[in-house]
Amino acid sequence: MSENNKKKASDLFVQALEAEGVDHIFAVPGEENLDMVESLRKSTIKLVLTRHEQGAGFMAATYGRLTGKTGVCMATLGPGATNLSTPAAYAHLGGMPLLMITGQKPIKKSKQGQFQIIDVVGLFAPICKMSKQIVHGDTIPSLVREAFRLSEEERPGAVLLELPEDIAAEDCTESVMTPHKRYYASPSDVPLEEAVALIKAAKMPLILIGAGANRQNVRAAMCDFVHSTRIPFFVTQMGKGVVDERSSLFLGTAALSAGDYLHCAIERADLIINIGHDVIEKPPFFMEEGGKKVIHVNYKSAQVDQVYFPQLEIIGDLAASVSALKDKLGGEVKFDRSYFEMIKLAIDVHIEEGADDARFPIIPQRFVADIRKVMGDKDIIALDNGIYKLWFARNYKAYQPNTVLLDNALATMGAGLPSGMMAAMLNPKQRVMAICGDGGFMMNSQELETAIRLGLNLVVTVLNDNSYGMIRWKQASAGFADWGLEFNNPDFVKYAESYGATGHRVTCAEDIIPTYEKAFLAGGVHLVELPVDYSENQKVLIDELAKKVCLI
């Protein structure tokens, strides 16, 4: 190979990323990444600096979640790499395609002894589909291609490539590989016919829609299946919006694992058609030996454990599986829906309670209802992790896929703001709102500067109760004293203004909708502080549910 055909390894890496269609890399670079930074400077890829590696990782993972294409982030060795461990786990459990590129000291000679060196590849192996160090520049094209294949292939997840700085600077002769589209097989007739027999024999079948159906453009097939068969459906938290939840067949969201009004229907069902759900997301029902039957419909076979052991599996492309099953069923499935209709009525009445409550600080039912009124059919809310996530899962109806971005797999705090930022970048014509508790917001609040620098239109809601509210609720439900979980907050309006954002503080329930409309109309980055009263957590989610008696 002539000298003219040689290229620097970091240039080859960036060219391989360009071949995969990468348009952004989210990063906090270090000195071990400087060859990559220089190669990016000469590329078509935009480098987006964030203020913490978690911000970069959460943004990249959310890019993967919303597009189905691998999001890419970059950090240096040691502490830079370890700060990506939470986003890696977030993508790994949440089924989001993510590539992390980390730097490392030279591997051919010792530059600074063992300074900052840890086994990053070994550290990330348990939470990645692939974790490898690049030891020669000519392996970059095949490793990048394999990384993207694995990250995007069902079930999607995180991959890591470590690029030592001496490898990044060496000369290479290989060329990039051309990616190709991944296709999934269609299911055979045998399991489909068995499924048809089970469904037609069932007296009270239900459909469960999980996170897997929120990927790979499954919406059209799912809507056809639900409305052709007329089988009522419920969703997991990460399955919200696959089918419009204004449907008369929608029973609700399994926000709690057991004991909610929806579980009256789940317990009465004799067959669950489980589409796109797996046990990584907290299970919304518990199977028992000799109990209800379950049909597992997914890209991959079921991960069996004590609470999940389906009797029949339909494996293959999800849209193709659902469409084929619909065709074989041949239209509406006949059974007595009266009990499910009673449950739906009870749930709808329950969710409306408190929606116009004027109390201040504001109760969850009111702020969820008002935010639903402010947001359009295709507008997006990105939730951090806290007790309000349960209120939104139960009370906020989603009309389109991936318009309610929440994490019920790792369930990490600190992801709400970066996720909302990514949604705003990808959907500049939609209203986007990040919804955070005061605890979760302060974990990555510095990314407000990144949002302003990127020129985003984003409203950030901070629900202020001066405590870790979710844990206080758990503390109360376990019968412990209310102790040890309260803190003080900054003046959130001044805090937002110090970054150049516009701050708002709602002082009465009637001001919620006007404040949001004003913020969205103005454009730019806005922070809205909502003082909240979480006493309803105890009343509604503990006391009322403990007294609930399922309809007979």
Give the pLDDT confidence of 379-417 residue by residue, as tens digits: 999 999 999 999 999 999 999 999 999 999 999 999 999
Run of H or E including 477? helix 469-477
Starting from the edge strand earliest in sequence, which strands make up the sheet with 250-253, in order? 250-253, 233-235, 205-209, 271-275, 293-298, 312-315
Residue 275, phi then psi, degrees to nearest 5 = -110, 110
CA distances from residue 83 to 28, 117, 126 in whole angstroms, order as listed: 10, 14, 16
Q: Is residue 183 part of a domain?
A: no
Half-sphere exposure (Cβ direction) of 423: Cα atoms closer than 13 Å: 28
Same domain, 370 and 307: no
* CATH value at residue 471: 3.40.50.970
Does residue 194 have a pLDDT over 90?
yes
Question: What tokens does 387 get?
Answer: 């007790």
Instruction: Name the 3-class secondary structure at 284.
Output: coil
Q: Count CB neighbours of 79 within 10 A.
A: 12
* CATH value at residue 303: 3.40.50.1220
Q: Is residue 1 part of a domain?
A: no
Same domain, 339 and 432: no
Q: Is residue 179 part of a domain?
A: no
Q: Count CB neighbours of 338 within 10 A.
A: 8
Per-residue pLDDT at 112:
67
Question: What tokens does 42 get?
Answer: 């000469």
Instruction: Find out whether 458 and 526 touch, Cβ atoms under 8 Å.
Output: yes
pLDDT band (50, 70, 90) for residue 2: very low
Same domain, 339 and 403: no
Same domain, 364 and 474: yes
Residue ending a domain, among 126, 144, 172, is 172
Same domain, 72 and 29: yes
pLDDT band (50, 70, 90) for residue 431: very high
Per-residue pLDDT at 463:
98
Q: Is residue 280 part of a domain?
A: yes
Same domain, 302 and 425: no
Question: What tokens does 170 get?
Answer: 């060496």
Q: Is residue 158 part of a domain?
A: yes
Instruction: Find out whether 369 and 353 touch, Cβ atoms under 8 Å.
Output: no
Question: What tokens does 295 get?
Answer: 């049909």
Instruction: Find out whether 207 and 226 touch, Cβ atoms under 8 Å.
Output: yes
Same domain, 358 and 287: no
- What pLDDT digit, counting tens, does each position of 510-536 carry? 999 999 999 999 999 999 999 999 988
Task: Tell me the average pLDDT of the chain.
Answer: 94
Q: How far is Cα 157 from Cα 155, in angstroms, rounded to an integer?
A: 7
pLDDT band (50, 70, 90) for residue 1: very low
Q: Is residue 182 part of a domain?
A: no
Residue ending a domain, among 282, 317, 345, is 345
Q: Is residue 545 part of a domain?
A: no
Per-residue pLDDT at 105:
83
Which residues form the domain of 25? 7-172
Per-residue pLDDT at 327:
97
Q: How far is Cα 263 from Cα 254, in angstroms, rounded to an integer?
A: 8
Same domain, 309 and 267: yes
pTM of this prediction?
0.96
Same domain, 227 and 123: no
Per-residue pLDDT at 284:
63
The whole-number average pLDDT for the span 44-69 is: 98
- What pLDDT digit, counting tens, does each position of 314-342 carry? 999 999 999 999 999 999 999 999 999 99
Q: Count CB neighbours of 347 within 10 A.
A: 21
Same domain, 252 and 301: yes
Does residue 175 have a pLDDT over 50?
yes
Q: Per the structure, how many domains does the chain have? A: 3
Instruction: Find out whether 438 and 384 touch, Cβ atoms under 8 Å.
Output: no
Same domain, 40 and 133: yes
- What pLDDT digit, counting tens, does each position of 532-552 carry? 999 888 888 878 888 887 875
Q: Is residue 552 part of a domain?
A: no
The whole-number average pLDDT for the span 158-179 is: 95
Same domain, 379 and 438: yes
Residue ending a domain, among 142, 172, 202, is 172
